[in-house]
């Protein structure tokens, strides 16, 4: 028997409670501020939780504004993690628009390295990954093991459908990144993200025209 929407939400909260009780301050939450439902769920389930945001230097102004809004609205400790190089320094060392020429290298420097640094002092982390996000995510569990980083990985909304997300947003009045109203279904760095057409795969707007579907944070 398939779980109901209410049961999926309750299970998500149970996962977060378990993580907070098991790991305490060694638990942290990763947010791109394009996963608004996760941020709201965490803030209303485990107040005071540690949340980190990777500021790549290429984010939309709307995404930075969403981070600031959630910092003001919810009882969360939101930390901003920066890459080792500014965009200007990266351009000087590797040439301008590395994200066009070698997006994997750009993601490695501006996302993966800062992520690993942010996680280095923790034993478990929470993500907003869902099975319906992409073909590469269809088998993710609510709780798993991040072998690359030797830590526990919690995906509390892994089983949520798009309809679940919409219903939760409506029921709780969740503040959404304004880019949602402009057709951005999956929000990343500005140079590598475009709006998607109705019926198009939500992640089709990420790295459009390139043989790339993941930034490397979860692979």
Q: Which residues are catalytic?
A: 215
- As a whole number of angstroms, the distance between CA 43 and CA 16 comes to 10
- As a whole number of angstroms, the distance between CA 100 and CA 31 comes to 24
Distance, C-alpha 27 to centroid of its chain: 15
* Helix, strand, coil tally for the chain in percent (to 5): 45, 15, 40
The residue among 83, 68, 2 whose CA lies nearest residue 33 is 68
- As a whole number of angstroms, the distance between CA 186 and CA 206 comes to 7
Half-sphere exposure of 2 (CA within 13 A, CB side): 5
Give the helix/strand (H/E) hosting 55: none
Half-sphere exposure of 218 (CA within 13 A, CB side): 23
């Amino acid at each position: 028997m398939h779980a109901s929407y209410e049961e999926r939400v309750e299970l998500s909260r149970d996962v977060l409670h378990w993580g907070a009780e098991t790991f305490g301050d060694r638990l942290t939450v990763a947010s791109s501020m394009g996963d608004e439902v996760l941020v709201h769920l965490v803030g209303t389930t485990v107040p005071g939780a540690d949340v980190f945001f990777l500021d790549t230097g290429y984010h939309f102004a709307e995404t930075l504004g969403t981070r600031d809004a959630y910092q003001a609205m919810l009882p969360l400790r939101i930390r901003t993690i920066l890459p080792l190089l500014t965009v200007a320094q990266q351009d000087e060392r590797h040439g301008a628009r590395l994200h066009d020429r070698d997006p994997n290298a750009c993601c490695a420097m501006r996302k993966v390295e800062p992520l690993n640094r942010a996680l280095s002092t923790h034993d478990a982390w929470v993500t907003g990954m869902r099975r319906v996000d992409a073909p590469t995510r269809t088998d993710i569990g609510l709780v798993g093991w991040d072998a690359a980083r030797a830590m526990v990985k919690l995906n509390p909304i892994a089983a949520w459908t798009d309809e679940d997300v919409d219903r939760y947003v409506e029921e709780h009045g969740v503040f959404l990144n304004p880019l949602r109203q402009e057709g951005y279904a999956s929000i990343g760095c500005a140079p590598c993200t475009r709006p998607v057409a109705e019926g198009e795969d939500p992640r089709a707007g990420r790295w459009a025209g390139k043989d790339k579907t993941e930034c490397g944070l979860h692979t």
